[in-house]
Amino acid sequence: MANSRKTGTYLKIIVLILFLIFSIFLEIFTGPAGFLSNTLILKLRVLRLILGIFCGISLSLSGAVLQGILRNPLCDPYILGVAGSACLGAIFGKLFLNFYQPFSLLFAVISIFIIYRLGSIRGVALPHTLILSGVIVSTFVSSLTMILMVLHGESLSQIIYFLMGRLSVIPDKLFYISLTFSYFFLLICIFLFIKYSQALNLLSLGEYEALSCGVDVNKLRFKIFILSGVLTALTVMLCGAIGFVGLCVPHLARLCIGADYKKVLKSVLLIGPSLLLISDTLSRIWTIEFPISVVTSLFGVPFFIYLLRKNKKFD
């Protein structure tokens, strides 16, 4: 029985790897310009590929661990207000100084500590207070973003396009530095999150059970909240806000591979970028390129309705 289960897991991993290879092939060899017609198109598509892999992994990992520490399957990287703050910082930097990466990260990091501080009661961060704090901060920064949009109507289409996410960028030296740093930080997060997987498994049984097994729940929640928040901020800084990936991919991983967090976190490394790359391919096969969140939402909403119908309530 154990051997057959192990074989089944290996087969599922192989299928996920093949799915990722297929999505990479689509990303590079499809588009409105048809098959690769020149070196410039190849370079741009490879850059989109690199961004898509980073964003798919980052959002999926962040969503999975946040759902674990907050014990809420409805959580995703954007629900806590960090992404909105990163968007606000990027828009502020773009409008007033014509470069945005440092401001996007700065605004997001500030919001992370504000949210955690607001969500802590006597030094203990509780899941429901963190979520409420995130909603409050998200609402506030959304209002500030709307003010900037109204005051700078001439840049409205550019702002909206950024807010809905894209993998098409005009790279410069600062962008490549940001991308390199982001990948380095992602590798650190992958290592640490997998290291915390057993603690997340214990936490899924309940806080008291985790505490009785020696898990410092508050310390674990703080570490993961900070790391996932910065990871989300880096994603928004590079590609704008891309919805539903961080919410749906962890559920897909659990459906495919089971509830063990060590397996889930490894699975999202394959599922996340695959879905994002396919969504990006679909967003640009027309003569007009759509924001990638349009495509992820078209897939994400029906899938989430399916989850709600299948599970009348989330445990």
> How is the chain split into domains, by residue range?
2-310
- The confidence band for 315, taking pLDDT boundaries of 50, 70 and 90, is very low
> Taking every pair of C-alpha atoms in the chain, what is the biggest distance, in angstroms?
65
Could you tell me where the beta strands, DSSP code E, fall in the chain? Answer: 120-121, 124-125
CA separation (Å) from 231 to 62, 118, 159, 208, 306?
7, 21, 22, 29, 28
Give the tens place of pLDDT for each residue, 90-138: 888 888 887 778 888 899 989 999 998 898 887 788 888 888 998 899 8
Give the tens place of pLDDT for each residue, 254-280: 988 888 999 999 999 999 999 999 999
| pTM, full prediction | 0.90
Distance from C-alpha of 27 to C-alpha of 50, rounded to nearest angstrom? 10
Give the tens place of pLDDT for each residue, 186-237: 999 999 999 999 999 999 888 888 888 989 999 999 999 999 999 999 999 8
What confidence score (pLDDT) does residue 77 get? 82
Share of residues in the chain with pLDDT > 90 (%): 38
CATH, domain 2-310, list 3.40.190.10, 1.10.10.10, 3.40.50.300, 1.10.3470.10:
1.10.3470.10
